[in-house]
Amino acid sequence: MNTYQTLLYYCYSPIENAEEFAAQHLEFCKSLNLVGRIIVADEGLNGTVSGSPDSCKQYMEAVHADPRFAKTEFKIDDVSELSFIKMHCRYKPEIVHSGLRDPKSIDPNRETGKHLEPQEFLAMKDQEDVVVLDVRSNYEHSVGRFKNAVTLDIENFREFPEKVKELAQYKGKKILTYCTGGIKCEKASALLLKEGFEDVYQLHGGIIKYGKEAGGEDFEGKCYVFDNRVTVEVNSVNPSVVSTCKNCGKVSSKMINCANPDCNEHFTQCDECGWEMQGCCSTICTEHPRKRLYDGTGYYVKVPQPVNLEKISKRKHKNFPPKEQITAH
């Protein structure tokens, strides 16, 4: 039974005093009993939040009531349990790390690829003069991607600008970019235009919206998401599995994080190997002294860090006066 909702959204819109806004927005989300992860930057918002339908409704109404975010489009999933454990809302320089020395050199509010609605994307993607480009990271497209899509060997989106030169062979074609919810495509398509690609498009709303409005047709595998669910089904037309277990090679769509916190690799692993390897990607990782307890999900809320006693000692000395100064008053 689905008793909760998960909202995926973003909005490129300038925010003054963004760091202060992030702190206030965190308290607002907590007041609605929402959990999730929101990034706030001077350029806008990027978030996934989860809560009761009523809390999610109040949140969406509040966001839309703010003129800065009135254009925000929410992708709504009905879920059986909350998709996060806690609520985080943090200020960062960008809502998507572009990897550019001057992030302001591209602005999705000024120039970006032509937005294609899911049905338009479906109609165009197999045309002869079209290249479908996945702008996501390796661990994302390894578990699911569009049929015949061009994928890039990147660990993080900030590596995308360096990969653009590898796409020069496609400059005479129509480039159809896609990602999970559309946010990375805003910057990827803007960068492609800046680099001389003339006919650039993006899948509006990303894979998630495509699954809801076009049945996910020809999306092979599952879609990686950045919450407790890890991956979600999007194709109800011609579903398939494209990923294989890192350890035994058997077809599997289950993606986990390595139980070794120092490794924490995203990889695909079948249930059988998961229990045998204790949720680790290799034998070496199974022997790590800080290996986390594998519960069959391979999802860990927080990677514990070793206590830095030297740093704590320095902080104490910095923040507190010597004992003799305290007793002197």
Strand 35-41 relative to strand 44-51, pairing: antiparallel
Instruction: Note if 179 is an active site residue.
Output: yes
Task: Please compute, for residue 281, the number of CA atoms within 13 A of its CA located in the half-sphere on the CB side.
Answer: 14
Token digits of residue 43 = 């350029």
Residue type, 151: T
Residue 287 neighbours by CB distance under 10 Å = 11
- Catalytic annotation, pick one of 29, 89, 179, 223: 179
- Cβ neighbors of 122 (< 8 A, separation 6 or more) are 210, 214, 217, 218
**What distance in Å separates the CA atoms of residue 108 and residue 190, rounded to the nearest whole number?**
6
**What distance in Å separates the CA atoms of residue 286 and residue 279, rounded to the nearest whole number?**
8
Token digits of residue 201 = 């498009």
**What distance in Å separates the CA atoms of residue 299 and residue 259, rounded to the nearest whole number?**
9
Task: Please compute, for residue 40, the number of CA atoms within 13 A of its CA located in the half-sphere on the CB side.
Answer: 18
At 187, is the secondary structure helix, strand, or coil? helix
- Cβ neighbors of 192 (< 8 A, separation 6 or more) are 113, 164, 167, 175, 177, 200
Closest by CA position to 163, among listed 174, 152, 155: 152
Q: Which residues are designated catalytic?
A: 179
